[in-house]
Amino acid sequence: MSRVAQLFARVRAEKRAAFVAYLCAGDPDFDTSLAACRALLANGVDLLELGVPFSDPLADGPTNQLAAQRALEGGMTAARVFELVRRIREFSDAPIAFYTYYNLVFSNGVDAYVRDAKAAGVDAILTLDLPPEEADELTAACRAHGLDTVFIIAPTTPDARIGRIAATATGFLYYVSREGVTGVRDQVAGNIPEAMARIRARTKLPVVVGFGIGTRAQVAQVAAQADGVVVGSALVNCIRDNLADRSKIAPVLAARAADLSAGVRRV
């Protein structure tokens, strides 16, 4: 079983959802990013979703756009992102998923990129702007090198297409609970129970829910329905708010992750 499959089997046995945390790799610099990842993984994060910094992150709101900009300005490259994963693997066996855009994969050669990602210790790849109908080259490379694939389902996805998306994914499905871009919201989207029912009628893959989740209460609300809960912008904001003293970033993230991760336990 892959690390991803093992994780979801474990949390299912523990009768809870997985806590998935997003950070942009290299934000605001390599060493601080590594410390931030360590802090999250030591404080309840089950799966680390690493954003690969990109100059045109169309699915992201201002918080994550600025995180990518900081990472790029701090010298992050594809090679440095792989190095970050290798360094994380020195202290953690938790699943790591890349959250990326297809140009970053394609421009480096799809098979070579997937091979290098696997060698570094990546477990899954979510390519936000690549629909499954156009993903044959990527999915073939992932099969060849043992990397799980993740695809997105949106509130606007027709029932007939959910099965097509699910058939292409191997790791888990990412349900985007809101139309639009990433970012913290005051309330969780109200359509999650209905969406989970629609998706689960067509696949046995785990389903994680993200976009707009930023408090422990919101995590608990989503965890009651989903197999995993993704928090991104609320964590990235901890980096943004402590740029003046970067030594504070890891401790602040540790405390925030411990608080948020408490929400995934079902009662």
In the numeric block, the tokens 């210790």 are attached to 121
Which one is catalytic: 46, 49, 123, 227?
Answer: 49
Burial class (CB in 10 A: 0-12, 13-18, 19+), 71: buried
The verdict on whether 49 is a catalytic residue reads: yes
Are 49 and 182 in contact by the 8 Å Cβ rule? The answer is no
Which one is catalytic: 27, 46, 56, 60?
Answer: 60
User: Token digits for 131?
Assistant: 């629909």
Amino acid at site 123: D
The verdict on whether 227 is a catalytic residue reads: no
Closest CA to 127 of 144, 158, 156, 106: 106
Task: Name the phi and psi angles at 209, rounded to 5.
Answer: -120, 135
Catalytic residue numbers, as ranges: 49, 60
